[in-house]
Structure 1
Amino acid sequence: MDKIAWITDSMAFFEPGEAEKIGVHVIPTLLILNGESYREYVDISIEQLDQKMREDSHASPTTSQPSFGDFVTLYEQLLEDGYDYGYAIHITSGLSGTYSSSVAAAEAVGFPLYAIDSYTGAANQQELVRIAQRLVAAGKGPDEVMSTLETFKHKSHFYLIIGNMETMRRS
């Protein structure tokens, strides 16, 4: 039986500990606040970010895709740990270059990867991970898994609620 890695980014917004529980490697998005860079959910929690923003009314966080180096490190580790291949499900390329960086890093280190640009984020992105895991558990191969994910992503909807247009403009 193949040893399969599951990869996503923090824009899937898994609850703390949930991704680890279901065996998903989460690459953190970078949050930039007042010139300092934090790895989302690693170096800073949402609560800590909220507190920093309350303390500094002029604080305007922005985000940046995970670093190429973080992806390279992950894929090298997965190879070392004996994974045969992985499925990577990332936030829409319409908002981030995460998908492209992930694919390029896997190619750079020779890690076999089935990657999908989810065209979504948050709950839908999580659902794509869960669907893929269920399909693999049911004995489906990569072609069928990827075909099903492509169908799902085109039939789902993703709504982004913007709390502040000025922050959105800066991002």
Structure 2
Amino acid sequence: MKIAIVTDSLTNLREEDLQKYPFIYYAHLNVVVDDKSYIDLKEITNDQLFRFIDEGASYSSSLPSPEVFVTLYEKLLAEYDAIISLHCTENVSGTVNSARIARDTIEGAKEKITVIDTNTASIGVENIVIKVCELLEQGKSLDELLEVIEYYRTHGQLYLTINDLTTLVRTGRISKTASRIGNLLHIKPIIGFKDAKLEVMSKVRTKKRLLKWMLERLRHDIEQSGKQVVRITHVNSIDLATELKHALEICGDKVDVFISNEISSVMAIHFGRGGVGASWMPANYSV
């Protein structure tokens, strides 16, 4: 059976992985600046986005419409027997719902297209996508792949730091007063997923404490489920991402650590510049 993997631009896979797995396809979100729409990953970079923001531009994001997915799915069904469509949790983005509407629109597609809310986002989805691609190349069946995906939907972690708290004010997560106090005291919240919803997991004031917190969490999960595959992303902060990689590699052969692409511009709108994130999941699964 020939299977295609679809994801969205929030995942922002590395070019080397896209080259290695040519059966991966994107549905792109959009960045809207002063009412002009830019295709995420294609027509705007984070440097350009923050330049617009610094100049006082208004900005937002928009989802790929169901019609975008219909066009993509119909094209792929002419070449592939089945499609696995892996997307960011609906608690962060409505993209997965656009994919579901598209699948239901195409006659006979429900048996050929599986749309999955991964319960994670960004590099968390990337981890699952790459694992599925590896297993697909090993000859795993569609049913086996879906079992593995279900396992990883509940066995992965994703943590993101917010460098500028004014970003959280704009998204309604904290008050302006809390933002001013937090920025003044250099408090950096660590955002994570609990029951597929974003929550503040901890607050740190120094880079050293951030690295220590991440390492402690990773070590805990290694004790619980063995070797972990770790992916790191950032927003205009490659130096901090590299430091985090080195800090986590203290775990030795119990981890494989990769620095992924910078977070997509749509994600950067909501998390601001200067942040860093890490996602990990067990290297081996049990289904």
Alpha-carbon shift at residue 118 of structure 1 (Å): 0.9
**1:19-38 Cα distance to aligned partner (Å, 9 max, x none):** 35422111111212222222
| SS of match in other structure, 1:140 | coil
Alpha-carbon shift at residue 17 of structure 1 (Å): 6.4
The structure with the largest strand share of the pair is 2
Question: Does structure 1 conserve the Cα–Cα contact (< 8 Å) formed by 2:12 and 2:41?
Answer: no
Look up the match of 2:14.
15
Letter in 2 for 1:85: A
RMSD between aligned residues: 2.1
Question: Does structure 2 conserve the Cα–Cα contact (< 8 Å) formed by 1:89 and 1:117?
Answer: yes
Return 5+ residue gaps in structure 1 as ranges. Answer: none
Structure 2 Cα separation of the partners of residues 94 and 22 of structure 1: 28
Structure 2 Cα separation of the partners of residues 160 and 33 of structure 1: 24
Structure 2 Cα separation of the partners of residues 126 and 69 of structure 1: 24
Q: 1:87 aligns with which of 84, 87, 106?
A: 84
- 1:102-117 equivalent positions in 2, closer than 5 A: 102-110=99-107, 111=109, 112-117=112-117
| SS of match in other structure, 1:11 | coil
Letter in 2 for 1:169: G
> What TM-score does the superposition give when structure 2 sets the normalisation length?
0.53
Structure 2 Cα separation of the partners of residues 133 and 149 of structure 1: 11
- The structure showing larger relative contact order (alpha-carbon pairs under 8 Å, at least 6 residues apart) is 1
Which of 64-73 and 106-115 deviates more? 106-115
Aligned residues: 167
Look up the match of 2:57.
59
Question: Does structure 1 conserve the Cα–Cα contact (< 8 Å) formed by 2:21 and 2:133?
Answer: no
Question: Does structure 1 conserve the Cα–Cα contact (< 8 Å) formed by 2:27 and 2:69?
Answer: yes
Identity %: 29
Question: Does structure 2 conserve the Cα–Cα contact (< 8 Å) formed by 1:103 and 1:113?
Answer: no
2:66 corresponds to 1:31: no
Look up the match of 1:96.
93
Return 5+ residue gaps in structure 2 as ranges. Answer: 174-269, 271-287
**1:113-155 Cα distance to aligned partner (Å, 9 max, x none):** 1221111112111111111112222222222211211111211
| SS of match in other structure, 1:12 | coil
Question: Does structure 2 conserve the Cα–Cα contact (< 8 Å) formed by 1:10 and 1:29?
Answer: yes
